Structure 1
Amino acid sequence: MKSIIYLPGLGYSHFNISGHDYAERYMSSMNKVNPDRKKKYYLEKKEYNYGYKNKFSTTVTSIFEYSSSKDKSIEVCKVYECFYTHNLTESFKRRNILSKLLRILLILVKKTWTLVETIIKKQYLNGRKRLQIFYFFTFLCLIAVFGLLMFPALVTSFIGALNQVIKNDSNLLDRILYNISPWVTFSNWITTAMAFLATFFPKFRNFVSNIATEFLCIDSYLTMGNGKLDITGELESLVEKVSEEDNYDSLELHGYGFGCVVIIDSIFPFGNRATYRLNTEITNIITIGCPHDFISTYYQGYFKKRVIPEKMALKQWSNIYSEVDVLSSNFRMDSDNHDGHFEVLDKRVPIKNVLFDVINVEKLGFWDHLGIIGLRAHQMFWGKGTDSSNCLGLVIEL
């Protein structure tokens, strides 16, 4: 039996990327690649608790295989979900409006300068890097819009505080309100504009808020390590519990999007060695749409000085990427689809690259790329339904 711990990407509420969705797609691929036509599969999903005093809760989806009768089915795979987004975004959501706006202003100044530096460096101006620049610029624009969305609430809070503090001096209060009246007018314009947009795009505000919040929290994770210990610690606890209870032949970590970064941070941590179970129990890693190259460009040095133990159970790292998706990585300095590697101090961890493209990238123009980035980034590796074609059939071993 194979046990899989799956770490989803972000945008969890927008795309079907939960652990159970992944298990359904994995089962469908198993069925399609199995040469035995009589083999059939079905799923069973249940709650699963782990950690100290079972404080964490997740889901485990078991995949069963049978030939003629379900009564004689065999459990061939378990898929556990390690959901980490709450650890990434909780601290930011608890901040007050002023603190959020200051954080947004700091990010905009700092990352705009990073973007300018990237554009100035000529070696980054190949086609793929240009698309990454556009993608990064889009994130900055969304953050700026997010800041504008919060501005009316800040003005309202400020006026409310003034009414409480200067309630006994109406003349002073009137003078202050008169001086800030342009900001109040600007706030009203923003409110009106958002109401107009909501008429045609009802989910616009939530979409911008969610995407901007996740990007700000990712930046905090990558630059200051906020939430990293909680996220990697929760994964370590899940690996510990699974290794104690499952009688598996292999234990694998599968990551999608930012979930791949969490896997790398756990297996190859900065300055420290991974926990004993991660070193001795994890035999395979599969990363899908890993943003390694994107992060290495805009957060230079993040993956440097990682530690690898002398002995580890890891046998293979398979990386599924797409040339069309700018967040995908091939762990190489060029765009060739040969195998790559991950630098760990003076060693190189080999990575088996698996190219998965559904569109001929050579036939696409610049504007076609931009349209695909907007519509299909992080959705290019599988369709909407369980039976849709997906990338997993390329790496499944029965």
Structure 2
Amino acid sequence: MAKIGVYITGLGETFHQESVEKYATRFRNELSYNSIGAIFEIKTEKIDYQEGKQSTVVSIIEKKDTKENVIYKFYDFKYREILIEKFNKYNILYKNVLLFVLVVKKFPILLKRLFFYNGYNRTGQTFYIFLIFLIISLAILFMIPSAIIAFMALTTKLTEIQLPFKIANIDLTYFSVMFVMPLTTLLLLIIPRSKEIVTSLATEFACVDSYIQYGDQSQLILGNLDLLIEYISETNIDSKIHIHSYSLGSILALDLLYPIGNVPSINTKKSIELFITIGTPYEFIKAYYTNFYTNRCLEMDEKLKWINVYSISDALATNFKKDGTIGESEFGIEGSSLKPININYEISPIQDFSLINFITLYHLKIHQYYWDASTNGQSCMRMVFNKMKEEELF
């Protein structure tokens, strides 16, 4: 019986053109590298697991000695549109105001975490991420007075511009020309496709905050994921399901497996045997949303194996250790006895935080580098595949 994988991508992966087809192709490549005398092909189809909700299904077919067998299937779970649908109607100005407010709201706990770790060891890197959010949101907001000043400059000299461009004896004209415009220009130069990134980032960060803080859209998202698991269980009788999750997708999967004040569905408890997390921001969320992991149902502890892929250089990834070092996990989900099997994946020598890395967004960009954009490039999939074989899960 073929194994089944449910692929839950990160929120930003839609922007970076990742897909279940690419993920499955990388898995297929590892099968080819570890087999002799067999050819592995991919077949893609669309299914409706409920009215109006589709999943892309990628089957990996083994051809050997005139025989064909489906040995692994991937179903993708699409949640981005559900998560951001309330925010899609807002313009870029409103989105950036919202992003600015969210960052300001978090700054007290950000500053607190710099001095009181509370078991979290990457406070400097995460403070840096929020600082980047603040700079990006301010850059767009500062464009408003800059644009007004530029318009006024067409009809008068800058030196003649008076109120309303002075507030509390602060010359906004001088401030805009000397600081705002150069800062905005710098950001536009160093961040390719900045408008798309800002729009996407503001929308997604605001939606994630609402999801974590208030459970916004969580019931609808998790209800759809339950329906997909039900469809798979009924269509592939007695098959075991593996959750393959990346970044925010791992948090959604965690909510399915370890629900808040609820219990997992019967199909979840019966069918899911493996939880794979890649670049999971577990500790990032725990540090700044302190109650998010409390009051969880732990029934899946005895039914799961858990593989966790992380990079020390990744400012968002969790190594489930009490320090920022490579090694075996020391804890799991809050209150749980299940600890993940840790896999460290680095694409370059580990680098300490530096000004150059800050300017180039190094520790944030590393979050995207668990695989190359091309399916022919190396990726963390080899280590995941080998560990699945070692644990007799495939």
What interval of TM-score do these two structures reach, taking the shorter chain for normalisation?
Answer: 0.7 to 0.9
Q: Distance in 2 between matches of 1:192 and 1:365?
A: 25
What's the CA shift for 1:193?
Answer: 9.7
Structure 1 residue 60 corresponds to structure 2 residue 83:
no
Structure 1 residue 257 corresponds to structure 2 residue 243:
no
Cα gap change, 1:66 to 1:215, in 2 (>3 Å): same
Q: Distance in 1 between matches of 2:86 and 2:259?
A: 23
1:85 corresponds in structure 2 to: 80
- Residue identity matched to 2:304: K
Matched residue SS, 1:4:
strand
Tell whether the 8 Å contact from 2:93 to 2:141 is kept in structure 1 after alignment: no
What's the CA shift for 1:15?
Answer: 2.1
Structure 1 residue 24 corresponds to structure 2 residue 52:
no
- Residue identity matched to 2:123: K
Q: Deviations over 1:33-65 (max 9, x none)?
A: x2x3212211011111112xx220121111011
* Structure 1 runs not aligned, ≥5 long: 156-177
Tell whether the 8 Å contact from 2:28 to 2:40 is kept in structure 1 after alignment: yes
Structure 1 residue 318 corresponds to structure 2 residue 312:
no
Tell whether the 8 Å contact from 1:307 to 1:344 is kept in structure 2 after alignment: no
Q: Within 5 Å, give how 1:1-398 maps onto structure 2.
A: 1-32=2-33, 34=34, 36-51=35-50, 54-69=51-66, 72-95=67-90, 100=95, 103-121=98-116, 128-148=122-142, 203-247=193-237, 249-309=239-299, 314-334=303-323, 335-345=325-335, 347-361=336-350, 364=352, 366-367=354-355, 369-370=357-358, 371=360, 373=362, 376-396=365-385, 397=389, 398=394
Q: Distance in 1 between matches of 2:97 and 2:343?
A: 42
1:175 corresponds in structure 2 to: none
What's the CA shift for 1:280?
Answer: 1.7
Q: Distance in 2 between matches of 1:391 and 1:215?
A: 26
231-240 vs 384-393, which moves further: 384-393
Tell whether the 8 Å contact from 1:320 to 1:353 is kept in structure 2 after alignment: yes
Matched residue SS, 2:56:
strand
What's the CA shift for 1:207?
Answer: 1.3
1:160 corresponds in structure 2 to: none
Matched residue SS, 1:333:
coil
Q: Deviations over 1:230-258 (max 9, x none)?
A: 11111111101011101454211110010
What's the CA shift for 1:368?
Answer: 6.1
Matched residue SS, 1:252:
strand
Tell whether the 8 Å contact from 2:32 to 2:39 is kept in structure 1 after alignment: yes
Matched residue SS, 1:93:
coil
Cα gap change, 1:272 to 1:60, in 2 (>3 Å): same
Tell whether the 8 Å contact from 1:342 to 1:349 is kept in structure 2 after alignment: yes
Matched residue SS, 2:332:
strand
When the two chains are superposed, the root-mean-square deviation of aligned CA atoms in Å is: 3.3
* Structure 2 runs not aligned, ≥5 long: 149-161
TM-score by length of 1: 0.80
What's the CA shift for 1:68?
Answer: 4.6
Q: Distance in 2 between matches of 1:99 and 1:200?
A: 24
What's the CA shift for 1:367?
Answer: 4.4
Q: Distance in 1 between matches of 2:125 and 2:334?
A: 28
Tell whether the 8 Å contact from 1:67 to 1:73 is kept in structure 2 after alignment: yes
Aligned pair count? Answer: 362
Tell whether the 8 Å contact from 1:280 to 1:313 is kept in structure 2 after alignment: no
Q: Distance in 2 between matches of 1:372 and 1:201?
A: 9
Matched residue SS, 2:211:
helix
Q: Distance in 2 between matches of 1:259 and 1:318?
A: 15
Q: Distance in 2 between matches of 1:286 and 1:201?
A: 31
Tell whether the 8 Å contact from 2:10 to 2:248 is kept in structure 1 after alignment: yes
Q: Distance in 1 between matches of 2:181 and 2:361?
A: 31
Matched residue SS, 2:286:
helix
- Residue identity matched to 1:50: Y
Which is richer in helix? 1
Matched residue SS, 1:83:
coil
Q: Deviations over 1:199-232 (max 9, x none)?
A: 9977221111111211111111111111111111
Q: Distance in 2 between matches of 1:278 and 1:261?
A: 16
Tell whether the 8 Å contact from 1:104 to 1:144 is kept in structure 2 after alignment: no
Q: Distance in 2 between matches of 1:48 and 1:211?
A: 30
